[in-house]
Chain A
Amino acid sequence: MRYDVLDAPDFGLLRITLERAGERIVAESGAMVAMDAKIKTETSMRGGVLAAAKRKVLGGESLFQNTFIAEADQQRLFLAPAPEGDLRALQLAAGQQFFLQSGAYVAHVGEELKLDTQWGGVRSFFGGLGFFMLKLTGPGTVFYASYGAVHPVAVSGNYICDTGHIVGFGSELTYTIQKFGGYKGLFFSGEGLVCNFSGQGQLLLQTRNPASLVGFLNPYRRVQSRS
């Protein structure tokens, strides 16, 4: 199997080539763009009904995942995420752990890769990170997407970022949620709370924030008068 990413960072498209019959890749439902005809699709609630329901209800992932299996050599499969932006691969060594923002996951390769929905804690929720993140444990390759370009930061010491711009981070990093620019900043700065990461590891940021787009569009919605 080999892969390449086309049209990144603006409209990343993943091209997988399953070189041998029997090779497979698991993808988020709805990610398939196009594929050669000798690929079989199996739809399943991976890990069983309970694990799938947990992912759906808690993690914002979809209930079903599709497994694409080549039935002949040299079969191509194109995958794309929902938002405009980047798409990248993340190689995880055996035992290596990484956290992804729910919704960033696109596909993965590797039978041994573990995907689990992780309770982020109350501080994570109030910090805007959401209650749950997707916890990945290697070995395997994960393909993830972002809104806007992915900006990787090699954190060594501390680094501060807006919670809406986080795509994921390595488990070597720890973080605290803190207010931004004092109490006045909390209410008036427009930033509210920020994440302060510490340790040595990789932090992935996205150059646009979905909540900002929603905030821009909201005043343009029609107004329904109360009857």
Chain B
Amino acid sequence: MHYEIQYRPAHALAFAHLQPGESVRAEASAMVSMTPNVAVETQANTGGGLLKSLKRSMLGGESFFTNRFTAVGSPGHVSFAPDLCGDLLVHELTGTQLLIQGSSYVSAPDSVQIDTKFQGFKGFFSGESLFFLSATGYGPVLMNAFGAVETLDLNGELIVDTGHLVAFTSGIEYTVTKAGKGWIQSFLSGEGLVLRMRGQGRVYIQSRNPAEYGRAIGAELPPRRS
């Protein structure tokens, strides 16, 4: 199977082209369209056990259910789009590992294993769920970016806002720290928590921050009843 991305970068749409018998898994609600020979199976996302899976969906913005799309009898395709405007990107795994921000993951074939790697409760205070999925194995992983995506090849140190991080390759060490010197300054700076990354590898960042966007627009919308 292979992914093809069209309409980049503002409103990208990804096609997973499947040979007969090939499958691809995707986050619930990502499907836009598909050929009629594609069979769909909805699975509870129990990789790593039910509890881990529940934790993942509650904390990571990743849905509890995954859809598996399989081409039956002849080649077919499925197309995927994220909720927000922005780009889609593919990272090819060659026995390597990629750590993906929970809400950035879209789709992967069976040759890629997706596992939970929970960052910790620190993330709660920033209002940004800090939660990574680990992708290992062989093949392409499809991710979304809110806004445009920038690829940074890291050799040394880099500080990234948690809301702008899409994914990074393993081998990069990271610590979650406050943006400022103290909690108060960090809060006032509006940066919340940042990732201090160190090592060699690749970092994908997105040019807009979904939580910032949500807060900016949400404050202007009429209130909802509790």
Residues of A within 8 A of B (CB): 9-10, 84-85, 148-149, 151, 153, 157-162, 165, 180-182, 184-185, 188-191, 194, 196, 205, 207-209, 212-213, 215-226
| Alpha-carbon distance A124/B139, docked complex (angstroms) | 39
The distance from the CB of A208 to the nearest CB of chain B, in whole angstroms, is 5
Top-3 shortest CB links A-B: A220-B218, A190-B28, A190-B29
CB of B219 closer than 8 Å to a CB of A: yes
A215 to B35: give the CA distance in the assembly, Å: 27
Find out whether the CB atom of B42 lies under 8 angstroms from the CB atom of A213: no
- Chain B positions within 8 Å of A9 at CB level: 7, 10-11
With contacts A85-B11, A149-B13, A180-B40 taken as known, whether A220 is within 8 angstroms of B34 at the C-beta atoms is: no
List 19 extra interface pairs beyond A189-B42, A215-B83, A222-B219, CB under 8 A.
Answer: A10-B11, A85-B11, A149-B10, A160-B33, A180-B40, A188-B28, A188-B44, A188-B64, A188-B65, A189-B29, A189-B40, A207-B11, A209-B83, A216-B210, A222-B218, A222-B221, A223-B226, A225-B226, A226-B226
- Give the shortest distance, in Å, between A219 (CB) and chain B (any CB): 7
Majority DSSP secondary structure for residues of A touching B? mixed
Bound complex: CA A159 to CA B64 (Å):
27
Task: Tell me the smallest distance from the CB of A200 to a CB of chain B, in Å.
Answer: 14
Contacts of B95 in A (CB 8 A): none
Interface 0/1 of B39-60, CB less than 8 Å to A: 0111010000000000000000
The B contact surface, by secondary structure, is: mixed
B29 and A212 contacting across the interface, CB-CB below 8 Å: yes
Chain A residue with minimal CB distance to B34? Answer: A160
Return 23 A-B CB contacts under 8 Å, by A number: A84-B10, A84-B85, A149-B10, A151-B79, A159-B34, A160-B34, A160-B36, A161-B34, A182-B40, A188-B44, A189-B29, A189-B40, A190-B65, A191-B29, A205-B32, A207-B11, A208-B81, A208-B84, A209-B81, A219-B218, A220-B219, A222-B221, A225-B226
A213 to B224, CA, bound (A): 16
Which B residues lie at the A interface, using CB under 8 A? 6-7, 10-13, 27-36, 38, 40-42, 44, 63-65, 67, 79, 81, 83-85, 210, 214-215, 217-219, 221-226
Minimum CB–CB distance from A215 to chain B (whole Å) comes to 7
Q: Are B221 and A221 in contact (CB under 8 A)?
A: yes
Report B-chain residues with C-beta under 8 Å of the C-beta of A219: 214, 218
Are A216 and B41 in contact (CB-based, < 8 A)?
no
Pick the residue among A159, A189, A213 that contacts B83 (CB under 8 A). Answer: A213
Bound complex: CA A149 to CA B10 (Å): 9
Nearest residue (CB) in A for B85 is A208
- Interface pair A207/B36, CB less than 8 Å apart: no
B33–A205 touching, CB < 8 Å: yes
Q: Whole-angstrom distance from the CB of B225 to the nearest CB of chain A?
A: 6
Task: State whether B223 touches A10 (Cβ < 8 A).
Answer: no
Q: Is the CB of B33 within 8 A of A161?
A: yes
Q: Which residues of B contact A217 (CB under 8 A)?
A: 214, 217-218, 221
Q: Which of A151, A181, A212, A224 is close to B13, meaning CB atoms less than 8 Å apart?
A: A151
Q: Nearest Cβ distance between residue B60 and chain A, in whole angstroms? A: 15
Residues of A within 8 A of B224 (CB): 218, 221-224
